[in-house]
Amino acid sequence: MFPTLIGTVVIAGIVGYLCEKSGFTHNGILQSIIICIGGAFLFYFIRLMFGFGFSSPGMNAIVSSIGALIIVPFHWRR
């Protein structure tokens, strides 16, 4: 369980950095990484509690990170 959690954080950080460097988002590097890690944590704990998600923990981390980057910035912008 603990290596999966650490792997989720690392993958989410990499996804946040790559999304910011590629121009997918314009939040700032640190902000994108924080948003991705938050989304990955949320999805990780939802998977533990309810048991639904993708078969691979890495795929869960990638999809939840990108989903958080799409949802959070558009929610707070005017």
Residue whose structure tokens are 């999805």 = 43
Helix 2-22 / helix 29-50 crossing angle, nearest 10 deg: 140
For the chain, give the percent of residues with pLDDT over 70: 94
CB-based contacts of 52, cutoff 8 Å, min separation 6: 46
pLDDT-derived band at 78 (thresholds 50, 70, 90) equals: low
Contact 32, 16 (CB under 8 A): yes
In terms of phi and psi (left: phi > 0; alpha: psi -120 to 50; beta: otherwise), the region of 23 is: left
- Mean pLDDT, to the nearest integer, of 8-22? 94
Which of these, 57, 52, 64, 67, lies nearest to 6 by C-alpha position? Answer: 57
pLDDT(77) > 70 = no
pLDDT(49) > 90 = yes
Domain ranges of the chain: 2-72
